[in-house]
Structure 1
Amino acid sequence: MLKMIDHSMIKQHITTLRDHNTLSAEFTQVAGRISEIMLYELLKNEPVNEIKVDTPIKKDVTGYKLSYNYIFIPIIRAGLTMIPNARRIVPDAKIMHIGIARDEVNQDYITYLDKVYKSKGNDHAIVFDPMLATGKSAAIAIKKLQNAGYKKITFIGIIGVDEGIEYLENEFGKDFEIYLAVKDPILNSKKYIEPGLGDAGDRAYGLEKDV
């Protein structure tokens, strides 16, 4: 289930990400700000538990706490840009890492890091990756989470295309939640999103190359 986040600040931030003159430090900061806005949108209807707290004035005041245990899974490298801001919103979230690389010659996907631990129950696992292109790296991460016992899984990206969206829906069903800020028109022959923003990982770490 695709959920597009329409927000004026996201539109401005996307423009900054697209601009090839944007320096890597600003690129990383802006990607984080977008993920923060999107995560707030995701969380707004999440279930909460009633708790009691003491204020400086009164004891046993009714309050609320998010019900799920949140697990954030950035797909390395580019997904790391989204985590610091996300963790500011949910400071008790656990972070697990998955490293997936695409061989640009034969287009195969290789998992070079797998730090997925088994679900302890009542978890909401959120996969972060700025770009949803073919959808294959996201699908690899999601399947690893399913195999580890996670029942509720959501994907948050910044820019996607129909090919990646449809791939995830075919793999995990139409009800699988995909959050995106922008949907671009095409995936080119090199499997880069157009107009896109280039290679998000390279740009975030100052290693931009021609694509």
Structure 2
Amino acid sequence: MANLPKNAHVSQHPCLQAKLSQLRSATTSSKDVQSLVHEIAMMVGYEALAQGLKTQQGSTDKSPLGYSYTTTTTSPHPTSISLVPILRSGLSMVPALTSLLPQPVAVHHLGLYREKSTLQPVEYYNNLPYHAPTTSNPNASGPSELAIIVDPVIATGATASAAIDSLKDWGVKRIIVVSVLATEEGLKQACGEWEEGVEIWVGGCDGEVDEKGMIKPGLGDIGDRLFLTLGK
């Protein structure tokens, strides 16, 4: 993958590649699709957060034997991290990422779909808390320091780019995108949306999309496969 942007990272883990091969199969059941997406999200997320987070020391605690030790958490602190699933298939990756993080984080949803004729993203839902805290409303939420976008597929890159643009406008300092599968062109477009602020981690990378914007050979319509809505 020598031609990919420097902020694009494709996993080389042998077990992940074997699971991705299983996920590609048309014979894989919806239940197994859900399990495989979760497992791959866990593996890609593990790699992404290992590079995207640092450790920081906290307060002093005691072990069961009474020995004192200094606690450790992440930097940024979980209170400064947001998880942003792209509806609807991104929801399948939320449990994997939340299980990796040491404490619960805010989950903000973005609803985006691709218009059939232009393949361009259309936003239909956004619950980012755009209002920063003020004297009159001290409990309002400002932007997170780090936003983690989860979406199983980056095909043309248009949806990922739109999500990155929304979060950049919100005011986040950094973005990590975690996906199961992408295309080369999709990665190039999404990585170029905010090169200095975005790192994209994927389980695999295919060459291109077809005339309908579907990845070849790809995973099919991953949302339909996850939620058993094939033939809708």
TM-score by length of 2: 0.84
Q: Which amino acid aligns with 1:79?
A: G
Q: Residue 105 of structure 1: CA displacement?
A: 2.8
**C-alpha displacement of 1:75:** 0.5
Does the aligned pair in 1 maintain the 2:120–2:159 contact within 8 Å? Answer: no
2:33 paired residue among 27, 34, 38: 27
Aligned match of 1:6: 12
Equivalent position to 2:201, from 175, 179, 186 = 179
In the alignment, which of 49, 52, 62 is matched to residue 56 of structure 2?
A: 49
- Return the letter of the residue paired with 1:165: L
Q: Which moved more, 1:87-96 or 1:127-136?
A: 87-96
Matched, 1:164 2:186: yes
Change (3 A) 1:47 1:14: same
Task: Work out whether residues 23 and 206 of structure 1, in 8 Å CA contact, stay in contact via their aligned partners in 2.
Answer: no
Which residue number in structure 2 is paired with residue 66 of structure 1? Answer: 74
Following the alignment from structure 2 to structure 1, what is the Cα–Cα distance between the partners of residues 206 and 146?
28
Give secondary structure in 2 for the equivalent of 1:157.
strand
128, 132, 145: which one aligns with 2:154:
132
Give the deviation of 1:129 after TM superposition: 0.8
Cα contact 2:111–2:123 (8 A) shared by 1? yes
Q: Is the 8 A contact 1:128 1:155 kept in 2?
A: yes
Alignment gaps of 5+ in structure 2: 1-6, 131-140
Three-state SS of the structure 1 residue aligned to 2:193 is: helix
Give the drift of 1:209.
4.4
C-alpha deviation, 1:107, in angstroms: 2.4
Q: Give yes or no for the alignment of 1:82 onto 2:104.
A: no
Asked if structure 2 preserves the Cα contact closer than 8 Å seen for 1:32 and 1:86, the reply is no
Contact 2:8 2:191 in 1 (8 A): no
Q: How far is the alpha carbon of 1:109 from its aligned partner? A: 2.0
Deviation at 1:122, TM superposition (A): 6.0
* 1:150 aligned counterpart, secondary structure: coil
Letter of the structure 1 residue corresponding to residue 25 of structure 2:
D
Match of 1:206 in 2: 228
Shift of 1:59: 4.5
Moved >6 Å (runs of 4+):
none
Q: Percent identity?
A: 26
Q: Distance in 2 between matches of 1:88 and 1:104?
A: 35
| Residues 143-166 of structure 1, C-alpha deviations (whole Å, 9 max, x = no match) | 111111101111111111111111
Which whole-Å CA distance do the structure 2 matches of 1:97 and 1:176 have between them?
A: 18
Alpha-carbon separation, structure 2, partners of 1:209 and 1:181: 27
Q: How far does residue 120 in structure 1 lie from its aligned partner after superposition?
A: 3.8
* TM-aligned CA distance change 1:171 to 1:12, over 3 Å: same
Look up the SS of the partner of 1:154 in the other structure: strand
Relative to the length of structure 1, the TM-score reads 0.92
Give the superposition deviation at 1:13.
1.3
Q: Give the residue type in structure 2 aligned to 1:87.
A: T
Q: C-alpha displacement at 1:174, in angstroms?
A: 6.5
**Structure 1 residues not aligned, in runs of 5+:** none
RMSD in angstroms over aligned alpha carbons? 1.9
